[in-house]
Amino acid sequence: MTRWRYAAATDTGLVRQSNQDAIYVDDRLAMVADGMGGHAAGEVASAMTIDLVRDGFEVRPTVEGLYNAINAANLAVLKNAREDPAHFGMGTTVIAVGLTSDGDGVTSPTLFHVGDSRAYQLRDGALRQLSDDHSVAEEWVRMGRLTSEEAAVHPRRHQLTRGVGVEDTIAIDVISLSAEPGDRILLCSDGLSNELDNDTLARLSSVPFTLEESVAQLMESAREAGGRDNISAVLLEFDEVQVAAAPIKRTVTSNPPPVALRPNVAASRLRRAKRLTWRVWAALALLASVVVGFFVVVHWYAYSSFYLGSDAGTIAVYQGQPSGVLWYKPVKISDTPYQASQLRAADQQALAATISEPSLEAALHWADYIHSQYCHYHSCRTGTGTTTTTTPTHSTTTVRVTTTTAKGG
Ligand code: MG
């Protein structure tokens, strides 16, 4: 079991018009939040954070519960700032000590910290700072770029590197406190720590002063030193302390929120998808027309000419290329009344090799001619005959064929 007593106060100071600090303390939780933002926004951020963290820790008084409560406050402040233009840019620091329970019934003090509010531990009159300021100047001190003296007057000493309600993710320093009965813990906003040096803080916060006397002296001394900012102090004194079985000292960063496409990004991707679809359809249409065009051209070429050939001794007219084109084979479209044997020897040889003609009429005319040439020297039957023709599409038509009359003899 860990028990403490406490005293606390907050003050507007002598310069600011309003108090944007917020504090809270009870038997299990102590907090200071220093709000920032124009008009009343800073007050909103610090008050929201104090309320949400208190409520969250009340439901789940564990390290995870307090961490989750600060994380929830971060998201809530951020959401409010985004939705309400009057609260744009608001945020807050938070520094809290909670008596957190573990699974074995041990209740130990744990410090949670974001921003530049501070926690100090006082033992036997000595002061030790427990928290690192999350400000640009103090980060540079830790990196070795500035000395503490340079940081104290640096123009970026008030510029925070972390805060509640600043970003979707938040990094929280979580530290298990190692305390003894009689130790005091001071939580304060920078309105106190900027006005009073460490020696003054240590002297005023320690015994023999009671907790109430110490807090009153701290507030009054900060005002006397200038009171240029809001001043807040929460002072705890341990009567009994348990130590965490598994002490923690680390910075815990919340998970980034799920990626949600902004409407304009989504619309842009939709437009791109539509453009892509249009192009795909255009490409498919072009490909289809090329394929169809290929078949049309091949079909036209395959059946664009005629030739004479022999079919079982009869001179016949075929449409197509003698050797075929791809899968398009020549088609017999007409038998003539002439026998291949009734041709001159040279014409018989030519017929055997097929005789090409540009049209059906030309082919029939040439058949008449070469037959008449044979009959010019031989006795041939003359007259008019009718023959059946077949088109490549297998429909049936009738072509009238007139044989020539043999001349002379
Ligand atoms: Mg301040």
> Residue 133 — φ and ψ, nearest 5°?
-70, 135
Strand, coil or helix: 52: helix
Contact 338, 348 (CB under 8 A): no
Q: What is the pLDDT of residues 298-357, one digit of tens each?
A: 888 888 889 899 998 999 999 998 888 888 999 998 889 998 988 888 888 888 888 888
Distance (angstroms) between ligand 1 centre and the Cα of 100 equals 27
Whose tokens are 């041939």? That residue is 380
Does residue 61 have a cis peptide bond before it, meaning omega lies within 30 degrees of 0? no
Is the same domain home to 125 and 17?
yes
Average pLDDT value for the chain: 88
Distance (angstroms) between ligand 1 centre and the Cα of 194 equals 9
pLDDT > 70 in the chain, percent: 91
Query: Does any domain span residue 404?
Result: no
What is the total count of domains within the chain? 2
Contacts (Cβ under 8 Å, ≥6 apart) of 110: 63, 66, 97, 98, 99, 100, 174, 175, 176, 177, 244, 248
Is the same domain home to 318 and 252?
no
Can you give the CATH number for the domain in which 40 is found? 3.60.40.10
Is the same domain home to 69 and 215?
yes
Q: What is the pLDDT of residues 62-118, one digit of tens each?
A: 999 999 999 999 999 999 999 999 999 999 999 999 999 998 889 999 999 999 999
The pLDDT confidence band at residue 212, using thresholds 50, 70 and 90, is very high
Query: Does any domain span residue 274?
Result: no
| pLDDT of 408 higher than 50 | no
Query: Does any domain span residue 286?
Result: no
Distance (angstroms) between ligand 1 centre and the Cα of 190 equals 5
At residue 260, the pLDDT reads 66
Is the same domain home to 171 and 236?
yes
Query: Does any domain span residue 381?
Result: yes
Range of the domain at 338: 306-389
Distance (angstroms) between ligand 1 centre and the Cα of 191 equals 5
